[in-house]
Amino acid sequence: MDSESCVIPVVKSPTDYQAFRISPGDTNRLAIVFDPQIANMSLTFCVEIFDVGGKTPPNRHQLAVEMFFVLKGEGLATCDGKTVRIQAGDSILVPPTGIHKVENTGSSRLYALCIMIPNEDFAELIRSGIPAELDDEDMAVLRRAPSPVLIS
């Protein structure tokens, strides 16, 4: 194998993810896994974490396809006026120009992997937001560990 063509993969763990709220009143956080700054390609891959009752504002992308994979929780996904229930294991593919939103209708946080290709300034929008923390509950979901037990 030619060592000139070998590509070193970028490997990250949840402790490396940077999380943000796009606006101060947002009820969801986005933890960037890969984006153009990290991966040197036009994509954004993040974990979107919705608080109970949290949702995205209706939005659309001119060129990008956005995909969601629900890790945990339940909610509703709406695209161009059509709404479906979503839960862990469900996937959503939003085509370019589709006006869409995702909302948490469950009694606990909603976690979804979110991939947008091409980036279409999504990562820049996220990074321009307010830095946020990932707590123990978030880390348990991201590491597929049992949820922490609160001892009172």
Write phi, then psi, for 126 (nearest 5 degrees). Answer: -60, -50
Residue 59 is given by DSSP the state B
The domain spans of the chain are 16-142
- Cis amide bond preceding 118, omega within 30: yes
Model pLDDT for residues 13-58, shown as the tens digit of each residue = 899 999 999 999 999 999 999 999 988 899 999 999 999 999 999 9
Q: How far apart are CA 80 and CA 98, in angstroms?
A: 6
Bridge-partner residues for 32, per DSSP? 18, 46
Q: How many CB atoms lie within 10 A of CB 86?
A: 24
Bridge-partner residues for 74, per DSSP? 87
Task: Find out whether 141 and 28 touch, Cβ atoms under 8 Å.
Answer: no
Task: Find out whether 18 and 44 touch, Cβ atoms under 8 Å.
Answer: no
Q: What is the pTM of this model?
A: 0.88
Model pLDDT for residues 76-123, shown as the tens digit of each residue = 999 999 999 999 999 999 999 999 999 999 999 999 999 999 999 999
The CATH fold of domain 16-142: Jelly Rolls (2.60.120)
Bridge-partner residues for 20, per DSSP? 30, 131
